[in-house]
Amino acid sequence: MRKRGRDEVVLSIYPTKHGLAYTLFEAPLTPIDWGLKRIEGKNKNARSLAVVEKLCEALKPDTIVIEDSVTAPSRRQERIRRLLDLIAAYAETENLTLVRYSRRKVRTTFRHAGAITRYEIAQAIASYIPALANRMPPIPKLWQGEDHRLALFDAAALALTHFAVVPDETDPP
């Protein structure tokens, strides 16, 4: 039987145009693995899905958390939306619990910390989880593009949103 609530192992996946970022949490604020996987060349979705499959085989998550690009309006690229759908289909075939959260839900979750932008949310996560603090990119200058390491914090934000939303089994109804 799968664990539910705060004791579940949560794998959050955040695809990017260059690959994907992932975090694995066994409890809120307790990451046990994280990383950025760069995927180059053709067939990025097939190769990205293969990476997700290997992560699931190695890490044995109870739940997979991804961004909601289906019910919520999304500005994500069409390729990435298709990849999110492929990840959802894979989770279903493997009987893994799949949860989707919109960017709006993530921002709402972190609003109490005074964090609204992606960078502010990343700063909040770095302050909550010292193990990820050394991955925090510097504040970007106006002329600079987005740092690829920010995707790692997007993945962590999805997992932390999940733990904030899923009630603890010990909490009274």
How do residues 38-54 score in pLDDT, each as one tens digit? Answer: 999 899 999 999 999 99
Res 1: pLDDT: 34
How do residues 115-164 score in pLDDT, each as one tens digit? Answer: 988 899 999 999 999 999 999 988 877 777 777 889 999 999 999 999 99
Q: Which residue has the higher pLDDT, 173 or 81?
A: 81
Q: How far apart are CA 50 and CA 19, in angstroms?
A: 12
Place 75 in a pLDDT band, splitting at 50, 70 and 90.
confident
Q: How far apart are CA 170 and CA 66, in angstroms?
A: 26
Token pair of 56 as six digits: 């699931």
Residue 170 has pLDDT above 90, yes or no: no
Res 111: pLDDT: 93
Res 173: pLDDT: 43
CB-CB contact of 22 with 11 (8 Å)? yes
Return all residues near 22 (Cβ < 8 A) that are at least 6 apart.
Answer: 11, 12, 13, 14, 33, 34, 35, 37, 55, 155
pTM: 0.88
Res 167: pLDDT: 62
Res 93: pLDDT: 95
Residue 3 has pLDDT above 70, yes or no: no
Domains belonging to the chain, first-starting first, are: 5-165 (3.30.420.10)
Percent of the chain at pLDDT > 90 equals: 66
Q: Which residue has the higher pLDDT, 96 or 6?
A: 96
Residues in the chain: 173
Residue 21 has pLDDT above 90, yes or no: yes
Res 171: pLDDT: 44
